Amino acid sequence: MPAFAADEERTATDIVRDAVNHWRGLSSYTEMTMVIHRPDWERSMTMRAWTLGQDQTLVRVIEPKKDRGNGTLTDKNSMWTYSPKVNRVIKIPSSMMGQSWMGSDFSNKDVARMDDIIDQYDHAILSEEEVDGITVYEIESIPHEDAPVVWGREVLKIRDDHVVFEHAFYDQDGELVKTLESLEIGEMGGRTIAKRQRMSKIDTPDEWTEIGVNEVEYEIELKESLFTLSNLRNPR
């Protein structure tokens, strides 16, 4: 019995790892539009993002004009931002990691530490079901006792083709707090990916952030020098 349990857990972890790898690839270039919606206003931003391996990410805003050039660089657990208006690179201190990233419903931590989901949690398959001919695994991820995660548990719905269908965050009483849903799934850059995702809180249904992928390329040649502070400041 214990052997079986271990076996099953490895499988669940593998599914999660594959999903993260599928989303990021070994390297990637994405152009995306982020829409931040609030009851009385809405704004959208278009950004370009490059990723290399598990650790390195560079995001740069191209629109709207007033935010053009704002950038975020992450390397392992560290995160820096650059704003041309103040012409300063600022390292995000730990005290600000929980705060909102570029005014969205994502926190800095969500952006900087996406792959924490793999090794800071225990994963278990809750159910498997067939939707439109594709197997969807429902995986329950419970953070380790000392993991820097506030959630009680997270439930991921991952399709057989590694697309994350839904990511739900529950508090420690088992109440659903927020969800990241994939609204549109399709072919892009040679892969099936979530083309539009929405993060929303259960308490405030009319506040949400949507990220739509406009263009994506995977497994491209990226230089390490792209992910440096000097490149964050002076794009080449």
Residue 151 binds other proteins, judged by CB under 8 A? yes
Q: How many residues bind other proteins (CB under 8 A)?
A: 23
What's the CA dihedral at 193, 122, 210, 196 to 10 degrees?
Answer: 10
Q: Does 145 bind other proteins (CB under 8 A)?
A: yes
Q: Is 223 in the site for other proteins (CB under 8 A)?
A: no
Q: Which amino acid is at 188?
A: M
98 makes contact with other proteins (CB under 8 A):
yes
Binding-site string for other proteins from residue 73 to residue 92, where x marks contact by CB under 8 A and - marks none: ----xx------------x-
Strand positions, DSSP E, 54-97: 56-63, 71-75, 78-83, 88-91
Question: Contact between 130 and other proteins (CB under 8 A)?
Answer: no
Q: Which of 148, 184, 186, 214 binds other proteins (CB under 8 A)?
A: 148
Which pair of structure tokens corresponds to residue 207? 């506040």
For residues 181, 220, 46 and 198, what is the CA-based torsion angle, rounded to 10 degrees? Answer: 0
Of 87, 172, 225, 234, the one binding other proteins (CB under 8 A) is 172
Stretch of residues binding other proteins (CB under 8 A), selected from 63-71, 123-131, 145-153, 188-196: 145-153
Least distance (Å) between residue 140 CB and other proteins: 16
**Distance between CA atoms of 33 and 55, rounded to whole angstroms?**
22
CB count within 10 Å of CB 92 equals: 19
Span 20-79, contacts to other proteins by CB under 8 A: 77-78
Q: How far apart are CA 186 and CA 177, in angstroms?
A: 27
DSSP structure class, residue 40: T
Q: Which residues bind other proteins (CB under 8 A)?
A: 77-78, 91, 93-95, 97-99, 143-152, 169, 171-172, 177
